[in-house]
Amino acid sequence: MKPQVIICSTELPKALEQYRESVIKWSETNNYELLEVGPPNYLYDFKHITSAFDLLRIELLAERPYRLWVDWDVELYPSFDPKPCTMTALDYILWNHNDTHWFRSVLDEYNSYSRRNPSYTNERYRMYKVMKRCGLDRLNSFNSNTYKHFYYSTSNKKL
């Protein structure tokens, strides 16, 4: 099974096109299949677009192993290598390696939490709360010198 890189296939602001291109180039160079996904069908069920994509990324990583989710505002450098890690760089790069179980448990807990707490209005932090409950703190991080996040990079603070 060939590993996959998942990116969102939406129209991007011009300042972010190079980020998307870096992910496409990285996937070609490293023999990863590129899987472009559009917004989920349930996008408008959420108040915040990021909440819908939080759920989408967990669903896709729970489906099959060796998937790497990269947000549209992340630039991958040629030296990026997900393999030594178990999973994460906060939530904008997620790698499931050969373990979909953790992502399935997050998805199950998310659905269960949503049923138990229908009045919880802070949906932007619901997925993070569930991921913490499922053991987010046990996950490894990527070497931060191998990628750049558009919004968290000091070189972009002036934009």
Say how far apart CA 100 and CA 157 lie, in whole Å: 35
* Contacting residues for 15 by C-beta, under 8 A, at least 6 apart: 150, 159
Residue pLDDT tens, the chain, 159 long = 899 999 987 777 888 888 999 999 999 999 999 999 988 888 888 887 888 888 898 999 999 999 999 988 888 999 888 875 655 555 678 888 888 998 899 899 988 888 887 776 677 778 878 888 887 766 666 666 677 777 666 554 444
Bridging pattern class, strands 88-89 and 67-70? unpaired
Taking alpha carbons only, the member of 141, 15, 148, 140 closest to residue 76 is 148
Taking alpha carbons only, the member of 76, 72, 80, 89 closest to residue 15 is 72
Backbone angles phi, psi at 156, to 5 degrees: -105, 5
Tokens linked to 56: 């989408």
Question: What's the alpha-carbon Rg for the chain, to the nearest Å?
Answer: 16
Q: Which residue reads 């919880």 in tokens?
A: 120
The three-class DSSP label of residue 48 is coil
